[in-house]
Structure 1
Amino acid sequence: MPGSNTDYFTRDNATRIISKSKFRKFIWLTIVFLLGIAIGSIPSIVLYIRSSHSGSNPSIPSGWNIDDYQSNSDYYNELTTIHDFNQTHNLRLDRLSSPQFHPQHGKSVIYLRKQFHMPDLNGSTTTLHWTCLQTNQTKQLTQPIWGVHDQQFYWVDDKTILFLSNRKSDLIQLFQINLPDDIISLIKFIEPIQITDYPLSIDNLLVNRQATRLAFSCQVYANLSIEETYNRTKTEGLSSELVYKFDKLFIRQWDKFMTGRRHHPIYLYIVQ
């Protein structure tokens, strides 16, 4: 009997040891399985977070869409509650600037209009507009495209407008539009003609009163042309942006001079 009891307890202990090892193995397999599920769900979580952020902060519109633009008056007419005027409302207002009268009779005016993507202000565009001062009729001359800004325009004659814009690339170049005889009947936007195609942006356009010459500035190296400056910046691996870095408090001193790129005037003849 004692022998049989001892054998019984031995088998019972062995069974308990085997059960504990199986339980531990089951626990480890469960942990590994749960970790696998957690790791596998990481991409889905990342995509969800990105989609939620993109929904709350829309990207800048890539181009012009007539359904993507809402005028200031339409936006505020749709509001059903009263809002105090704040800085956001001020930013939504269109900017009208740089009016220039017709060079001969002065009965019409061309000006710049900067409009913003409504209502989130996520993008803007600047275009040329024409207004008849006698009838108060207005026509938009150039097509609005988000991120494109027309600027610094001049009447060359009663039918030709020169202006600067970044319509074809990120670089600011010289463009021209030819006005039709009957601007009131204009249905489509006028397609601008690109005049210059420099590898660097130009700025500060000026046209003389006789409309025979024009001048603009460009950041170039001394005694180098625009093309030579561009080639030098590419060879030296320099950025086209002009940035100054100060390692101490800036105090104007006259013991040094710049050897980098500076704005230089460039003159051209206008052939009509």
Structure 2
Amino acid sequence: MRPRALLLYLLVPLITQIVFAQPATHPFSIHDMLAMDRISEPQVSPDGKWVAFTLRKTDLDANRGRTDLWLVGVDGNNLRQLTTHPSGDYSPLWSKEGRSIWFLSTRSGSAQVWRMPVDGGEAEQKTSLPLDVGGFTLSPDNKLLAVSMEVFPDCESIDCTTNKLDAASQRKTSGQLYDKLFVRHWDTWKDGRRSHVFVLPANGGEAVDLMKGMEADSPSKPFGGMEEITFTPDSKSLIFTARVAGREEAWSTNFDLYLVPVDGSAQPQCLTSNNKAWDTQPVFSPDGKTLAYLAMSRAGYEADRFRIVLRNWADGKERVLTENWDRSPNFVVWSADGKTIYAAAGNIGQTSLFSIDAASGKVSMVVKDGQVRSVGLAGARLVYGLDHLRSPVELYSALSNGSDVRAVTRINAEKVAAARIGEPEQFSFKGWNDETVYCYVVKPVDFDASKKYPVAFLIHGGPQGSFGNDFHYRWNPQAYAGAGYAAVMVDFHGSTGYGQAFTDAIRGDWGGKPLVDLQKGLEAALARYPWMDGERVGALGASYG
């Protein structure tokens, strides 16, 4: 045998082993999307060394999801599962000393507050209320719990609500009489109950309704959470967000902040009555001297931008910190020294993280790309959740200026690596009135520029919304890319994250400027990418889209 032939003979088995040793991959599909583990509610420990978070795993065969609590070091080491009960465990909160975690669980048959030591030991049930707990938070001294529960506002006690629910379950008819709106809000039929805030001792005791008789919800429905509620620094009072609008509730955006003593000895006092627009998410500075919150300025307009307002807690004087910043923050987090506020906001197809000087209002970029979901303080570092068009949410840490980025979790790394995805890119074009409009394109999986590909033209809802650089579980363009389509997503006039004037441009013109942008955007994409087949284009959308 010739030497070259002999060498080839010897190498073939080795090459075969190497090829077959490579992990098999497949085009991304909706099944990959649904199978991703979902990280949410990250909470940094008081010493800044650990992050507790909720992880939802999906059993596709059983068609159900399961949530558990997990723990990981801020340095990315020592990942471990804290809870393994078949029921759902979620919404972790650290105790102030950092030795235990409070959380919600359905393991008792209803959603109640539990506590478990971090270093081992059994979980202990802390509430045994006759109604499900929707959310909770701890007072600064950890002696009190604030919980939200669904009650009938005309009831004097929780037992009254349970009795009404029992009576309703015995009815032989399902008809409901409505004499005002809402009848149905998003995906939920209204039955007369309201989400009210109750306070009770953390070690057990009577729950006091701080909103007794109020025809209002706190947290707000359908998307509000416990970020709308906070204790005062002395743990003697509580501030909650609510909309008291009577028959105008269905179109009112007049959410206000209310202050009430934790014992319910006085009626809630409205702190923001001068503003007829939206006020929400109260957060005290570390020294307790300043209350920050988000506020809109135009009544009845839910697509207005939020400003950050600072209120001197001693004298009630307020100032708008971000009047000159043309972005709408999603949340407010104070730095440990109270000199900086961190906020995420829509920003040209991203949801970026910014730092804001609490004295001057100067804004600096911290994390530009992707969608920042949350942020927490870990000593000199920030811990944040981030997703983008290539990956679902993972946790990262960085210095306060955004440098030295490190991965804290890699929960979905293997699943992401196993599914081949399309390459995303953003471009701009001249839309309505020759103004700049942005668009995302995701190329088909296994892209070949010599081929022609059909186009999935995705149209977002709202219309004051956005298709951005995020891993979406309803409209994920990678599902279309994996099926051999090019995905095109135009952020037409009215979209958020491009300045308030861009959002306002379609007031009274929902069917005009957006349609022009969509037409011009598709035309621009077909001209820019000759491999897109303009004869095979399908438009997809929901709600406004």
How far 1:80 moved relative to its partner?
Answer: 7.2
User: What does residue 94 of structure 1 align with?
Assistant: 37
Instruction: Tell me the SS of whatever aligns to 1:266.
Output: strand
* Displacement of 1:232: 2.8
SS in 1 for 2:161: helix
Equivalent positions of 1:118-129 (< 5 A) are 120=61, 122-129=63-70
Counterparts of 1:131-210 in structure 2, within 5 Å, are 131-134=72-75, 136-145=77-86, 148-157=87-96, 158-169=98-109, 171-180=110-119, 190-210=121-141
Q: Secondary structure at the match of 1:268?
A: strand
Give 1 or 2: higher strand fraction: 2
User: Structure 2 CA distance, aligned partners of 1:92 and 1:83?
Assistant: 14
| Cα distance in 2 for residues equivalent to 1:82 and 1:245 | 55
The aligned residue for residue 50 of structure 2 is: 108
Q: Gaps spanning 5+ residues in structure 2: where?
A: 1-20, 185-189, 205-545
Instruction: Spell out, residue by residue over 1:32-77, the C-alpha distance to the aligned partner (whole angstroms, 9 max, x if none).
Output: xxxxxxxxxxxxxxxxxxxxxxxxxxxxxxxxxxxxxxxxxxxxxx
Aligned with residue 160 of structure 2, among 217, 224, 228: 228
Q: Structure 1 251/232 Cα, relative in aligned 2: closer, same or farther at 3 Å?
A: closer
Aligned partner of 2:71: which letter? W
Q: How far apart, CA to CA, are the structure 2 residues paired with 1:250 and 1:216?
A: 24
- Paired position in structure 1 for 2:430: none
What's the CA shift for 1:112? 0.7
One-letter amino acid matched to 2:83? T
Equivalent residue of 1:227, what SS? helix
Which structure is higher in helix share? 1
- Long gaps (5+) in structure 1: 1-77, 181-185, 253-257
| CA distance in structure 1 between the aligned counterparts of 2:183 and 2:162, rounded to whole angstroms | 31
In 2 relative to 1, CA 149–245 (structure 1 residues): closer, same or farther, beyond 3 Å?
Answer: farther
- Matches of 2:99 and 2:24 in 1, distance apart? 47
Classify the secondary structure of the residue corresponding to 1:177.
Answer: strand
SS at match of 1:142: coil
1:81 to 1:139, Cα distance in 2 relative to 1, 3 A: closer
**Largest Rg, 1 or 2:** 1
Query: CA 1:197–1:238 in 2, change beyond 3 Å: closer, same or farther?
Result: farther
3-state DSSP class of the match of 1:219? Answer: strand
8 Å contact 1:198–1:227 — kept in the other structure? no
Distance 1:209 1:234, change over 3 A: same
1:267 Cα deviation after fit: 0.4
Letter in 1 for 2:108: K
The letter for the 2-side match of 1:265 is: V
Which runs of at least 4 in structure 1 moved beyond 4 Å after TM superposition?
Answer: 78-81, 243-246, 249-252
C-alpha contact (below 8 Å) 1:125/1:144 kept by paired residues: no
Q: Could you say what secondary structure the match of 1:137 adopts?
A: coil
Change (3 A) 1:97 1:237: closer
CA distance in 1: counterparts of 2:183 and 2:194, whole angstroms:
20
Change (3 A) 1:124 1:245: farther
Q: Are 1:218 and 1:226, in contact at CA under 8 Å, matched by a contact in 2? A: no
Say if 2:202 is the partner of 1:270: yes
How far residue 127 of structure 1 moved from its aligned partner, in angstroms, is 0.6
Q: Which amino acid counterpart does residue 102 of structure 1 have in structure 2?
A: S
Match of 1:48 in 2: none
Q: Is the 8 A contact 1:126 1:144 kept in 2?
A: no
Candidates 206, 215, 223, aligned match of 2:146: 215
Q: TM-score, normalised by structure 1?
A: 0.55
What TM-score does the superposition give when structure 2 sets the normalisation length? 0.29
How far did residue 251 of structure 1 move?
9.2
Task: Supply the distance in 2 between the matched residues of 1:228 and 1:79 (Cα, whole angstroms).
Answer: 63
CA distance in 2, matches of 1:84, 1:163: 38
Work out the percentage of aligned pairs sharing the same amino acid: 28
Distance 1:250 1:135 in 2: 46
**Cα distance change of structure 1 residues 250 and 227 upon mapping to structure 2, 3 Å threshold:** closer
- Measured in 1, the distance between the counterparts of 2:23 and 2:61 equals 18
* Structure 1 residues 93 and 244: CA distance shift in structure 2, 3 A: farther
Per the TM alignment, residue 121 of structure 1 is displaced from its structure 2 partner at its CA by: 5.7
Pair 232,134 (structure 1): closer, same or farther in 2 beyond 3 Å: same
Letter of the aligned partner of 1:164 in structure 2?
L
| Alignment deviations for residues 119-178 of structure 1 (CA, whole Å, 9 cap, x no partner) | 536322111111122461112111142xx2222221123112111111121x21111112
Q: Check whether the contact 2:155–2:161 (CA below 8 A) recurs between aligned residues.
A: no
Say yes or no: does 1:83 pair with 2:26. yes
Aligned-residue offset at 1:271: 4.5
Contact 2:99 2:118 in 1 (8 A): yes
Whether the 8 Å CA contact 1:172–1:202 is kept in 2: the answer is yes
TM superposition shift of 1:245 = 8.1
